[in-house]
Structure 1
Amino acid sequence: MRFPWGTSDVVDLPTVGTRIDTFTDPAHVEGGPGARLQVARRQAQAFRREFPGTGTPDSITTCDLVTLPYPTRFGLFRASRALAPFLSITNRMLVIRWRDSDGRRRILLFEPSDVELGRYTPYFDNLSQHTPAVIERRMVREHGTVLDHLSRLGIAREEVDYLMFDHLHTQDLRRWIGTTAHQDDLGTTPTAIFPNAKVVVQQDELAAMAELHPLQKPWYQPATYRDVPAEAFLPIDGSIVLGPGVAVVKTPGHVFGNQSLVVNTATGIWVSSENVIATEALTPEHSRLPGLARWARQWQQEIVLNANTIETTADQYNSIILEKTLADRSQSDSRFLQFFPSSELTGMWTNPGTRPTFSHGHITHGPQL
């Protein structure tokens, strides 16, 4: 697999936002993962004090995309004692709007997955081929497409400034940002649906995708990036403030270039990523999911991570602690945090023992259309 740019070219692409100097790359922290964990806590506490001063966005709207099956042993790591081999997760997109200091309106789509093309991710494609159609229809529920939701919200495609994912697992961006050559499987040379949008992504992830490790291959679609235009990306190295109350924080571990969305709202700070699939995974002592509280107590684990890929597990654990430290308490149940999983655990009768104790379902901030 080769991208239309080399690894060195990624560094030279234009970027965006104001760099956050509070956070230190784990690779630059002296000592082992335990030392990095303590640094992550301190830095998150410092950023929690600073971040509200950046302001708040105008609005945040949650849009459901799809509910689909996911292996329990991945989503709840080694903690779950549920009999069900699969649980269900709901993928959601966040639409975030704000004004820059010069008054210009901005729109960020966080997790705008092209669900139709995402199905061809090797892992999910293989799962679909080995699942009877009648069962698949019961376990996969589509709620609305990215374009349907934007139409409902009155947002034109040309108005979208940024596309962002916590990582690029399953993502096929060809229809969103266009390609420079004919795509045989699509039967066309796609013109960008979002012609003015740039993809905010960590340099580390683009570099890793240029030559995937075998552990990564089931979850990426690298061939779909062969003909996408390099100028559609805004690679960043670390953490940035993108707008008032909108930050991108590097949280490596689930993938090398993982990143989390952090937003300041009327109810305080929210964090969103797929590092865990349920907010109770950050406070498992309060979970009624079979096995979680006992496992956390027995092994002195503060969190239960989402572990479909274990690229650097200790770093992922530390990143989740950073997220846990940043997020405010939920106003509806203070046992849980304002952590919004980009793929949230969803109870279904087909998956006994996997119904979450607590769910957010959505983030609401500002006017809702």
Structure 2
Amino acid sequence: MTVNERGDLPSGFRGIEVFDEVNAIAEPGRQLQAIRSRAPEFQSWFRAQGTAVAVETCDLVATPFPREYALWRAALSPTPFVRIYNRMMVVRFDDFDGVRRTLLVEPTDSRLAENTPFFRALADRFGPRMRDLAVVWGPTVAEHLARLGIDPAEIDYITFDHLHVQDLRPHLGTTTPQPDLGTAEPLFPNAKLLVMRPEWEQMQRLHPLQRNFFQPETYRDLRTDNVVCLDGDVLLGPGVAIIATPGHTIGNQTLVLNTDSGIWTQSENGVHPESYQPERSRIPGLARWARSSGQEVVINANTPELAALHYNSMVKEKLIADRGGPGGGWMQHFASSELTPWRLAPLVSPSFTYGALRHGSLKEE
């Protein structure tokens, strides 16, 4: 799984140093203090860089997810599951070489994601009939691109906030033909994967606590000449950055966007703005939990890796994003898997959903 040398960046990208010292702090309490100091500086600096060219989101799949993971210990509900909606984001930006680029964020192959041990066990437990009732299938990645008039060969980069559930063989191609796919060729022949180095390297030696949400066997025959490992925060172009937010996984990252509606963060660290502002939530238990615990965020804790760092990363996102939403005052966090209303889980329905994020036009001028 050899990839680029440490420190190498694609031409047209720029490294970001604002959080370098913060990211190097091992003690979680001191790191959190440092985040509170540096995040406003990052926000001001990032806003001054300009805006992305265009952003559009695409619905992929809505699926049940354990409440105790999505809302950790905070929600009071007998309902064991919530429903989350996974969405892809198409981002156009100009890099610092002046080249117009297209980035796909979270282009998950939803059908192959079902082979993840956790979701496979869930399907076996409830059977195909319950699965059909609970899961809402949207168009595939390729179907969305066709609708938008984007040739897969136009895609320059793909990225995921982390590699949970991902089978990347269709995206990157493989060194040998895959019997279950029928090909070794990639859907995106000119695209490179942008991934934090710790996230990529962990796939070679997963801990037992991690394995339930990964598909490491699918990485065996992957091409790696189109993988770019990031060793820190990166500005891809005006209004588009990827920053390290470890905790949900060891190499978790967050997309930061500056748009005509302000600054947004995007990740699965929290499943809804109410996860970042539980004191405002109408979901039973969240506001009271925030008051009694003194905790200001509710982590999406489906893997028990680095909870304190996960908390810190959510505070980082919370301090970077602007405020908006219904009535104003809500953090502009677009969850890559957003908590959505579900008639089978009425007590854990969110106060609102963003549902979509659009900025500019994807049509080339």
For this structure pair, what is the TM-score category when the shorter chain's length is used for normalisation? over 0.9
Q: How does 1:328-343 map to 2 (within 5 A)?
A: 328-343=322-337
1:19 aligned to which of 15, 19, 22: 15
SS at match of 1:230: coil
Comparing 96-105 with 107-116, greater Cα deviation is found at: 96-105
Asked whether 1:267 is paired with 2:261, we answer yes
Distance in 2 (alpha carbons) for counterparts of 1:236 and 1:101: 17
Distance in 2 (alpha carbons) for counterparts of 1:82 and 1:252: 29
Distance in 2 (alpha carbons) for counterparts of 1:65 and 1:160: 18
SS at match of 1:78: coil
2:132 aligned to which of 133, 137, 143: 137
Amino acid at match of 1:115: S
Q: Aligned residues, how many?
A: 361
Q: Is the 8 A contact 1:177 1:193 kept in 2?
A: yes
SS at match of 2:243: strand
Q: Is the 8 A contact 1:279 1:358 kept in 2?
A: no
The 1:14/1:70 distance shift into structure 2, 3 A limit, reads same
Q: How does 1:248-267 map to 2 (within 5 A)?
A: 248-267=242-261
The 1:14/1:178 distance shift into structure 2, 3 A limit, reads farther
Matched residues, percent identical? 44
Distance in 2 (alpha carbons) for counterparts of 1:358 and 1:24: 35
Distance in 2 (alpha carbons) for counterparts of 1:106 and 1:95: 11
Tell me the equivalent position of 2:48. Answer: 53
Asked whether 1:284 is paired with 2:278, we answer yes
Distance in 2 (alpha carbons) for counterparts of 1:12 and 1:306: 30
Distance in 1 (alpha carbons) for counterparts of 2:121 and 2:259: 40
Q: Runs in 1 of length 4+ with deviation above 4 angstroms? A: none
Q: How does 1:217-366 map to 2 (within 5 A)?
A: 217-366=211-360
The 1:25/1:129 distance shift into structure 2, 3 A limit, reads farther
Q: Is the 8 A contact 1:91 1:342 kept in 2?
A: yes
SS at match of 1:310: coil
Structure 1 vs Structure 2 CA RMSD: 1.5
Deviation at 1:335, TM superposition (A): 3.0
Tell me the equivalent position of 2:171. Answer: 176
The 1:101/1:238 distance shift into structure 2, 3 A limit, reads closer
Name the TM-score, length of structure 2 as normaliser.
0.95
SS at match of 1:137: helix
Comparing 248-257 with 102-111, greater Cα deviation is found at: 102-111
Q: Is the 8 A contact 2:92 2:362 kept in 1?
A: no
Q: How does 1:30-69 map to 2 (within 5 A)?
A: 32-69=27-64
Distance in 2 (alpha carbons) for counterparts of 1:367 and 1:159: 16
Name the TM-score, length of structure 1 as normaliser.
0.94
Gaps of 5+ in 2: none
Amino acid at match of 1:194: F
Tell me the equivalent position of 2:79. Answer: 84
The 1:51/1:135 distance shift into structure 2, 3 A limit, reads same
Distance in 2 (alpha carbons) for counterparts of 1:90 and 1:159: 26
Tell me the equivalent position of 1:29. Answer: 25
2:141 aligned to which of 146, 150, 163: 146
Gaps of 5+ in 1: none
The 1:27/1:323 distance shift into structure 2, 3 A limit, reads closer
Deviation at 1:12, TM superposition (A): 5.0
Tell me the equivalent position of 1:205. Answer: 199
Residue-by-residue CA offset, 1:16-47 (whole Å, 9 max, x unaligned): 321110012656226x2111101112221110
Distance in 1 (alpha carbons) for counterparts of 2:233 and 2:41: 14
Asked whether 1:166 is paired with 2:169, we answer no
Amino acid at match of 1:126: A
Amino acid at match of 2:52: P
